[in-house]
Every structure is written in structure tokens, then in C-alpha cells.
């Protein structure tokens, strides 16, 4: 076994934590020794395949199949479970996937059936919603338990461990490639900043197909011997119940997840005292939310982080940082990254953990990573004198109102300070007077009541005139990716 690979990390975890719980999902409870045995059986199934895809929600099967593919020496290709069949087929074909682990029916859709003849030659079906009718040429999950678990991984530290396709919020997704060494390095940095240990019980709500759930989740837990508790889909009641019954200590997630938890009417009926660490991240996190997470959800430590598919975890705050610093900044460089600001204050990253490149797309790779090795993120940022990074906005989200550059995240931060506002999203829309003007979509907390006049009066106290949103729309929810990012592209399309 070659050190510096994900399979070697699993083997080392077995040596150190063999009898400790590694994975808990409902009635399934696997120790590290049992997890490793299951992983090697999956590796035997995937043996000889160069690229293996997984299309499944967060279950114990995903962890076993994903680590099994990596143990087999294949590159792992996670697929967004919300992709349409056309989008899934596009990823499978572009990545030249030859083996696939996929659910049958999930959220009312038979994802395996939808692929039709486009499915790869080797398929194992993951049961999510009960037993389903057999399909010719498809292996059922339980058949893996009969395979030989005596397997030696051929993985190499510099070999491609995974190909993560970007969310596609601004166009066709691209496959960002990382090596085993890089994947482990960013996971180690995340675990270090969070102080993760074998005593932790880690509720993973972030989708495993996303780098946050996979690398800052599964891999970080493997490195430290923590217990992974996956949640199929986010459900406030289910999350509160899991925190109490499984004595969850670590709960990362988008700000919307933590906002929903602090606002949940049934929160007081659950014992949440086990919680110690939350990690969140977004263009802006209201200070009030950080403070409520500490006082009302019992977190000892709340951290924010910044990363992207091409770099995973680039900056992260530290446990000693105060609430205001955590809310306004996404921490300082970690995982060997250098951070600087380029033209238009674009955040540039350089270091050993910048992706290897985009799959079969040298032109897009050259556009993203310049000749000096700097990754151009497309994010606008500010660096303070201590090297802490604040994300102002996406360059593409900026709009020009009466000749002034306006960054929606600044307006969203101001709106977050208005009592009753759960979250907001601001975009620039065409305007006859201003050229472009801000339109704010606002979701209120349960039971809160605010008028357009209330919002405008608040904004006038906090923002320069040219930054004021000219249009206000109250909404029940906002369109978003599974990783929690608001799909502003959808909002812009609604406005022509």
C-alpha cells in the first residue's frame, strides 16, 4: 500500500480505530474494520475500471462505493443527484465512465431507468426506497457482500483521485481533477482548523457529490477517526432528532441550514448540548446568525471557510476568531494556499492543492490557471492586514447603477441585519433611470412580518443611495443548488 493515498488513509484508520464506529446510517452501524472490509469488496467489484461514477444521495452505500472505487485505483466521478437524465448522461460520456453505482427510485424518479441504454456496462444499484424489480445486466447492492475482500490497492499519490464537475450555475459544468495527495491535503487542513478528533460524531448534510461533503466530510473523518453520520436529505425535524439521538458534535452546512435550525419551532424540545463545531460559508454570513448559532444551538465554535471545486478549502477561520471576524471574513489561507487580489480585486489562489486541470479541456484550464500558477476564481474579495479574506461577490454578479459598481453581497449583508429577514438574494435588473437597479428577493423568518417600506427604511440607514435596492419581492424560498448556493442565474432569467 502506497502512503499518501486515500486507500492507505483508510487502512491506517483501521489500524488506529478498528473498533470505533466509522459510519452510522439508521440501523446500519459499521466500525472502521467493518467499513474497510465493505470497501474492499466494492473495490473488487470495480477492479479494472479507470473511472467510476456514483449517483446517489447521502447514505452509507455512497461512502462504501466511493471509497471502493478509490481503493480499486479508479478516479471517482460523483454525479449531482438533481441532474436530469440528460445532464447525467453528459457527465458519464464526457468522463468516459465504465462503471456506475446509482440509485433506482429516489424522490419519485427512477434514475437508473432514466439512463436507458446510455448506462455504462457495469452497474450496481443502490437501494434507497426499498426493493425494486431486477434489471438485466445490473448488479444489486447486496451481491457485493459475497465478493472477496482481500484486495491491495494500486492507487498512487499523484494519480487522479476524483473528477468533480462544477455546479454549472453559470454554464456547462467542467470536470475539475485532483490527485489523492491533494484531496487528502485539503481534508487534513479542514480537520486541523476544526480540531476534528476520533471523539467527534460528524453529521454530513452537505451532499457527498460536492467537495464539501466528500473531502471536508468523508475524507476528513477518515483522517481523524471521526464517526460519519450521513443524512439523506436535509429535513429540520430529522436533523434535530439525529443531533440528539446520535450525540452529534460537528455540523457543517450552508447558512440556510443553520438558519432553519435556529428558527425551528421544535428546537427547544431537543437536547443539542453535544454540538461543538459548525462550519459554514457564503458570500456573507450575518453576524446575528453566528451569535445565535453559538447561544441557541450550543456550538462552542463557529467557523467560516472559502473554497471552490477547483481548490476545495482555500481559507478558513480559526477557533479563536470572534463572531464579527467569522461573519465578515472567510478566514485566512490554509492547505498551503497563497491568496492575493488581482484585477478588479479578483481573488487569486496558488499552491499545491489547486486542481490538476479540467478534464479534456486545456483551453478552459489555461483560462482558469495563468502561467504563474494563479487560479482565477471569479470572486471579488478584500484582504485585511492579517491576511483574512472577505468575499465581496462574484464578478459576474456585480452590476452598474448610475455609473457606480454595486456588489449584491454588500446589500445582502445589510439586509441580514434587519430583524425578521432569514435570507436574501439581490440581482441587478434593467432600469430606465439607473441603467441597472437592485432587486432584492427576501425570505422572512417564520412568523415575521415586514413591508417594503420597512426594508427600504432599513437599507437607507446602512447603504449609500446608489446601492439601495429599487425593487423588493418577498418569496417563500429561493432557487438554489444542493450545496446551498442561490441560483441567481434563475432569478435573472425571470427578469428578462
Q: Is 192 part of a structural domain of the chain?
A: no
Three-state SS at 423: strand
What's the mean per-residue pLDDT of the chain?
Answer: 92
Of the three residues 394, 410, 439, the one that is the final residue of a domain is 394
Residues 96 and 33 in one domain: yes
Residues 15 and 123 in one domain: yes
Degrees, nearest 5: CA angle 157-163-166: 140
Find residue 303's DSSP bridge partners: 279
Number of domains in the chain: 3
Q: Is 225 part of a structural domain of the chain?
A: no
Residues 322 and 280 in one domain: yes
User: What's the whole-number mean pLDDT along residues 188-198?
Assistant: 96
C-alpha distances in Å from residue 174, one per residue of 171, 212, 302, 364, 481: 9, 17, 32, 9, 16
Residues 324 and 254 in one domain: yes
Q: Is 374 part of a structural domain of the chain?
A: yes
pLDDT at 195 over 60: yes
Q: Is 364 part of a structural domain of the chain?
A: yes
Residue (of 34, 362, 311, 70) closest to 190 by Cα position: 311
Please tell me the distance from the alpha carbon of residue 166 to that of residue 170, in angstroms, as a whole number: 10
Find residue 380's DSSP bridge partners: 346, 393
Q: Is 52 part of a structural domain of the chain?
A: yes
Three-state SS at 122: strand
pLDDT bucket at 282, cuts 50 / 70 / 90: low
Segments forming the whole domain that contains residue 284 = 234-394
Alpha carbon 457 to chain centroid distance?
A: 35
Residues 17 and 143 in one domain: yes
Residues 34 and 138 in one domain: yes
DSSP code at position 232: S
Residues 57 and 138 in one domain: yes
Which helix (H) or strand (E) is 255 found in, with range?
helix 255-263
pLDDT of the residue at 169: 43
pLDDT of the residue at 393: 74
pLDDT at 161 over 50: yes
Q: Is 184 part of a structural domain of the chain?
A: no
Residues 311 and 457 in one domain: no
Residues 375 and 478 in one domain: no
Which helix (H) or strand (E) is 295 found in, with range?
helix 287-296
Q: pLDDT digits over 444-488, tens only?
A: 999 999 999 999 999 998 887 888 999 999 999 999 875 667 888
Query: SS3 for 171-228, per residue?
Result: CCCCEEEEEHHHHHHHHHHHHHHHCCCCCCEEEECCCCCCHHHHHHHHHHHHHHCCEE
Q: Are 388 and 327 in contact (CB under 8 A)?
A: no
Which CATH number is 435's domain given? Answer: 3.30.300.30
Which CATH number is 238's domain given? Answer: 3.40.50.12780
Residues 74 and 120 in one domain: yes
Q: Is 228 part of a structural domain of the chain?
A: no
Of the three residues 354, 374, 394, the one that is the final residue of a domain is 394
Please tell me the distance from the alpha carbon of residue 49 to that of residue 75, in angstroms, as a whole number: 9
Q: pLDDT digits over 165-180, tens only?
A: 986 544 578 999 999 9
Of the three residues 345, 372, 394, the one that is the final residue of a domain is 394
For the entire predicted model, the pTM comes to 0.85
pLDDT of the residue at 235: 92
User: What's the whole-number mean pLDDT along residues 61-73?
Assistant: 98
Residues 262 and 411 in one domain: no
Q: Is 361 part of a structural domain of the chain?
A: yes
User: Mean pLDDT: which of 118-132, 161-175, 341-355, 426-440 is highest?
Assistant: 341-355
Other beta carbons less than 10 A from residue 141's beta carbon: 16
Residues 151 and 262 in one domain: no
Q: pLDDT digits over 72-90, tens only?
A: 999 999 998 878 888 899 9
User: Mean pLDDT: which of 219-228, 425-434, 437-446 is highest?
Assistant: 219-228
Amino acid at each position: 500500500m502506497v502512503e499518501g493515498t486515500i486507500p492507505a488513509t483508510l487502512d491506517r484508520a483501521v489500524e488506529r480505530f478498528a473498533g470505533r464506529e466509522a459510519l452510522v446510517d439508521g440501523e446500519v452501524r459499521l466500525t472502521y474494520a467493518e467499513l474497510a472490509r465493505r470497501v474492499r469488496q466494492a473495490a473488487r467489484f470495480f477492479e479494472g475500471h479507470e473511472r467510476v461514477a456514483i449517483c446517489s444521495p447521502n447514505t452509507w452505500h455512497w461512502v462504501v462505493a466511493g471509497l471502493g472505487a478509490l481503493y480499486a485505483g479508479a478516479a471517482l466521478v460523483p454525479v449531482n443527484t438533481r441532474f436530469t437524465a440528460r445532464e447525467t448522461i453528459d457527465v458519464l460520456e464526457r468522463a468516459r465512465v465504465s462503471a456506475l453505482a446509482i440509485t433506482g427510485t429516489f424522490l419519485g424518479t427512477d434514475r437508473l431507468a432514466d439512463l436507458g441504454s446510455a448506462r455504462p456496462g457495469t452497474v450496481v444499484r443502490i437501494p434507497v426506497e426499498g426493493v425494486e424489480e431486477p434489471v438485466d445486466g445490473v448488479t444489486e447492492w447486496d451481491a457485493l457482500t459475497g465478493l472477496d475482500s482481500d484486495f491491495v490497492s494500486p492507487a498512487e499519490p499523484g494519480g487522479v483521485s476524483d473528477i468533480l464537475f462544477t455546479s454549472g450555475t453559470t454554464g456547462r459544468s467542467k470536470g475539475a481533477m485532483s490527485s489523492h495527495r491533494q484531496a487528502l491535503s485539503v481534508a487534513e487542513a479542514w480537520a486541523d482548523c476544526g480540531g476534528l478528533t476520533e471523539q467527534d460524531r460528524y453529521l454530513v448534510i452537505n451532499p457527498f457529490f460536492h467537495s464539501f461533503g466528500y473531502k471536508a466530510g468523508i475524507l476528513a473523518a477518515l483522517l481523524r477517526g471521526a464517526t460519519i453520520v450521513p443524512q439523506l436529505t436535509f429535513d429540520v425535524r430529522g436533523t434535530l432528532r439525529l443531533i440528539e439521538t446520535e450525540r452529534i458534535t460537528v455540523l457543517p452546512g450552508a447558512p440556510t441550514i443553520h438558519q432553519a435550525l435556529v428558527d425551528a419551532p421544535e428546537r427547544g424540545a431537543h437536547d443539542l448540548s453535544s454540538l461543538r463545531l459548525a462550519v459554514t460559508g457564503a458570500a456573507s454570513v450575518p453576524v446575528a446568525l453566528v451569535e445565535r448559532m453559538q447561544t441557541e444551538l450550543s456550538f462552542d465554535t463557529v467557523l467560516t471557510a472559502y473554497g471552490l471545486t477547483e481548490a476545495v478549502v482555500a481559507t478558513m477561520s480559526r477557533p479563536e476568531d470572534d463572531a464579527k471576524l467569522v461573519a465578515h471574513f472567510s478566514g485566512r489561507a490554509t492547505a498551503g494556499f497563497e491568496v492575493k487580489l488581482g484585477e478588479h480585486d479578483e481573488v487569486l489562489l496558488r499552491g499545491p492543492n489547486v486542481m490538476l486541470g479540467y478534464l479534456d479541456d486545456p483551453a478552459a484550464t489555461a483560462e482558469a490557471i495563468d502561467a504563474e500558477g494563479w487560479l482565477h476564481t471569479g470572486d471579488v474579495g478584500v484582504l485585511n492586514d492579517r491576511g483574512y479574506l472577505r468575499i465581496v461577490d462574484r464578478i459576474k454578479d456585480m452590476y452598474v447603477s448610475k455609473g457606480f459598481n454595486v456588489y449584491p453581497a454588500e446589500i445582502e449583508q445589510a439586509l441580514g441585519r434587519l430583524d425578521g429577514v432569514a435570507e436574501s438574494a439581490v440581482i441587478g435588473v434593467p432600469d430606465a433611470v439607473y441603467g441597472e437597479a437592485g432587486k432584492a428577493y427576501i425570505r422572512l423568518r417564520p412568523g415575521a412580518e415586514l413591508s417594503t417600506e420597512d426594508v427600504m427604511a432599513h437599507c437607507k440607514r446602512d447603504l449609500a443611495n446608489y446601492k439601495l435596492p429599487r425593487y423588493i419581492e418577498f418569496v417563500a424560498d429561493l432557487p438554489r443548488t444542493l450545496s446551498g448556493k442561490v441560483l441567481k442565474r434563475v432569478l435573472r432569467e425571470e427578469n428578462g
